[in-house]
Amino acid sequence: MRQPLQYPWLNLDVDAVAAPVIAVRVDVTGTKAEVADHSHRKGQLVFALGGGVTCRVPSGLWMVPPHCAVWVPGGMPHSNRATANARLFFVYIAPDNVALPDRCCTLSISPLLREVIVELSDQAADDDERVDLLTSVLLRELPRMPVQQLHLPLSSEPRLKRIAASLAKDPSDRRTLAEWADRVALSESSLARLVVKETGLTFGRWRQQLHLIVAIRELAAGASVQQVSADLGYESVTAFITMFKKALGKPPAKYIDGVAFKP
């Protein structure tokens, strides 16, 4: 069931606003903030100028590192979890106004589009000519943004949901596939096949993708490589950096610095 969008810091039902594009700035102060599951007719672009955001939809978990955004199509239930002191922009786009996928995706955001989003969030409602110009640029540029592979596929299968919830709560859990299989009353081979069938990834690759998403979120929030490595249960910082570089092509510090377009 669609619910009006209500944030603790923002009392706004975006579907009640007729404008084709609405841009709202949200500054998260102090501790982490979370918006529970909700949906709306307008599609939503969740853009992080600082800090990081994790978006959860029924089919997966999407990471929004600094200077990137996640596109959530209209009507899709989702929740947002922001790191402490995140600087966010929520951009709501009415259906059929932009050629974006009907699925979630993480996008890099160019310096031009970044400034357009910031300007739109600051515009007075009665400055129609400037709002129309900025809206036109945003709708033209947004489909051109490159996609980042920062997605963790999730499954509604009860046993996999149980494993996913446990690993999300404690990413440092190093139980083997055989140990997880015993816990959910399956053979090791049956669990291996189920994970591939439901997520498209092997169990090891799926858990690694979870580690990457958690690592990027925490690094974007200012955590050190040493701290993140320990929190994820790696035996050494070197082992964590090697995994990260092999998966994403760059060591953690360089990846966070260069994940998006340069200003």
Q: Are residues 164 and 121 in the same domain?
A: no
Q: What is the CATH number of the domain that holds 31?
A: 2.60.120.280
Lowest-confidence segment of 104-108, 122-126, 127-131, 233-237 by average pLDDT: 122-126
SS3 200: coil
Structural domain for 121, as ranges: 6-148
| pLDDT at residue 9 tops 60 | no
**1 lies in a domain?**
no
Q: Are residues 184 and 136 in the same domain?
A: no
Question: What's the pLDDT tens digit per position in 207-238?
Answer: 999 999 889 888 877 889 999 999 999 999 99
| pLDDT at residue 8 tops 70 | no
165 touches 137 (CB < 8 A):
no
Q: Where is pLDDT greater, at 151 or 202?
A: 202
Choosing from 91, 115, 148, the residue where a domain stops is: 148
62 touches 104 (CB < 8 A):
yes
Percent of the chain with pLDDT over 70: 90
User: Across all residues in the chain, what is the average pLDDT?
Assistant: 85
Residue with tokens 């994790």: 54
- The rounded distance, in Å, linking the Cα atoms of 87 and 98 is 24
Q: Where is pLDDT greater, at 195 or 148?
A: 195
pLDDT of residue 30: 57
Q: Are residues 24 and 43 in the same domain?
A: yes
pTM: 0.74
Q: Are residues 164 and 118 in the same domain?
A: no
Question: What's the pLDDT tens digit per position in 82-110?
Answer: 877 788 899 999 988 888 888 888 888 89
3: Cβ contacts below 8 Å, ≥ 6 apart: 38, 39
